[in-house]
């Protein structure tokens, strides 16, 4: 009887792991369809960060030029 319980637990664990893998695959598929996966996401994130830094730099330069004109 103990042996049957052991196999049942193993089978249940395998079933749960397979469900977890299926969920991860589904999430990966959905992210890919949405265009949010892989290097594409990373390159867009860096481009967004680059644009943000450029905008802040320009804003600081504009602010500094206004301060210098007021003297």
DSSP per residue, 6-28: HHHHHHHHHHHHHHHHHHHHHHH
Say yes or no: 13 and 24 in one domain. yes
Say yes or no: 29 and 43 in one domain. no
CB 19, CB 11: distance < 8 Å: no
Model confidence band, residue 65 (pLDDT cutoffs 50, 70, 90): low
Model confidence band, residue 69 (pLDDT cutoffs 50, 70, 90): low
pLDDT at 4 over 80: no
The CA distance from 23 to 20, in Å, is 5
Say yes or no: 1 and 25 in one domain. yes
Model confidence band, residue 71 (pLDDT cutoffs 50, 70, 90): low
Q: What is the pLDDT of residues 8-59, one digit of tens each?
A: 888 888 899 999 999 999 998 888 888 766 667 777 788 888 988 888 888 8
CA-CA distances (angstroms) from residue 1 to 4, 46, 49, 53?
5, 58, 61, 66
CB 59, CB 53: distance < 8 Å: no
Say yes or no: 28 and 48 in one domain. no
Could you list the residue range(s) of the whole structural domain that residue 53 is in? 39-71
Say yes or no: 60 and 29 in one domain. no
The total number of structural domains in the chain stands at 2
């Amino acid at each position: 009887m103990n042996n049957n319980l052991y196999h049942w637990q193993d089978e249940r664990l395998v079933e749960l792991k397979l469900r977890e893998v299926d969920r991860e695959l589904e999430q990966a598929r959905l992210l890919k369809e949405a265009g949010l996966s892989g290097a594409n996401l990373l390159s867009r994130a860096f481009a967004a960060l680059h644009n943000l830094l450029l905008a802040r730099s320009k804003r600081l330069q504009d602010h500094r030029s206004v301060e210098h004109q007021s003297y």
